[in-house]
Each structure stands twice: as structure tokens, then as C-alpha cells.
Amino acid sequence: MEDELKGLEIKNMTDTTADLYFYGDIVSDWWGAWQAEDQYPDAIKNFLSGADGKDLNVYINSGGGSVFAGMAIYNMLKRHGEKNKVKIYVDGLAGSIASVIAFAGTEAPEIPSNAFLMIHKPWGAVAGNADELRKMADDLDKVQGGILNVYENHLKEGVTIDKVEELINAETWMDGKEAAEYFNITTADAKEYVAAVGNYLDRIGAKAPQAYKNRE
């Protein structure tokens, strides 16, 4: 059971509610988990099975990871939300594909003024000939379209998806107040949280703001 639930931190499981933490990278499976906090779809599936019929509080402090793993988790949480309340809290960072998971709730996510939402273009590594490299670029554009489809469902009134695509192309970091200018988000006063996040963004060299770089 311990191996099966690697990557999950479960607290305050009651008869009616359960708390789920995304405090590491989003990876494809158990073998890709570099640290105990990393999450993957099969672990989330097992967690949701044990939380059947319960409302969820979901806490995010993650730089992202695998797009397809994150999309699978997003869709699983959305299905859970068809019968239960799912509330999302961004404790520190919802970056890359974790920013998609942030919108999996049944209501607007809560992002304090000292927490971040980061959106950017999907990326990948490929080796091959010119045709294969061009196909990879086309595939990444399609993946970006899927991410945009999620964001489009959560835009603030008057904001166009074309504007959000500009933000994605530029790799944009937003604190809670800034994110609320573009998305349906509940903002909150700055809060103090335990700093715990995977090193996904460090590995890809994202243009993190100084406030993120100075995290402890």
C-alpha cells in the first residue's frame, strides 16, 4: 500500500471530505517519481476511489511536469466534481500543467496575492530528421490547443483566448491578483505556507520571478 500511494499526501480524511496535495512534479507513473511528493495519474485514481462520495480540498504547489499526466488528472478531478464539491487552493505555485489542474474544481480556484500561476508553451525533446522535427513542432501546437481549451472555460468576462495565447507564448508569471485579471479566480490576502515544490521548473530553466527564486 505504501508503494501504491507513493506521491500522495493525504490529510484530514473524514466521512465527508478529503484533502489532496500536489506538492511536487506531475509525472507519468510511479517509476518517474523522483521524490515522495511527485504525483501521477494512477495514484490519483486510487486516491479518488478511496475518496468516492467525498468533497475534496486540493492544495497545489507544483511547477508542473508531464502534460498528458496532468490532463488525465484534470479530467479525473472534473469527473469527481460531477457528484462532489472540489475546491482548489494554490498555496505557492501552479505552474505549467499544474496551472491546468488548478482549474479542475467545481468553483473558482483560490490564489493568494503571494502565490503564482505560470503559463507557457508546452515543450518536448526529439531526435530525428527534418520531417520528424517538423512533426514534433506541429504536435506541440496541438497540445497547446488542448491546454487553451481548458483555459478558455475559465476566462474572466471580456478576456479573449487570443490574449491568453499571447501570455502563453511569452511564458507569463502572475500572482493571484494579476491572474484574476484574466481568469475566474478567487483572490486572497498573502499567506505564509511551507515551501515545498518539485524542481521541474528549475530543470527547464523557466523565467521565474525573483520571489519564486528566493523561496526556501
What pLDDT, in 10s, does the model give residues 14-39? 889 999 999 989 986 666 566 777 88
Active-site residue (options: 66, 96, 99, 154):
96
Active-site residue (options: 66, 99, 120, 154):
120
> Any idea which residue has 511547477 for its cell?
63
Our answer to whether residue 120 is catalytic in this structure is: yes
Euclidean distance between CA atoms 214 and 75, whole angstroms: 33
Our answer to whether residue 154 is catalytic in this structure is: no
Phi, psi of 186 (to 5 degrees): -90, 120
- Residue 39: closest CA among 121, 120, 87, 94: 94
Beta strand 116-119 with 172-175 is antiparallel
Tens of pLDDT, residue by residue over 45-71, are: 999 999 999 999 999 999 999 999 999
Over 90: is that where the pLDDT of 146 sits? yes
Over 90: is that where the pLDDT of 83 sits? yes
What single string gives the DSSP state of each residue in 139-158? HHHHHHHHHHHHHHTTBPTT
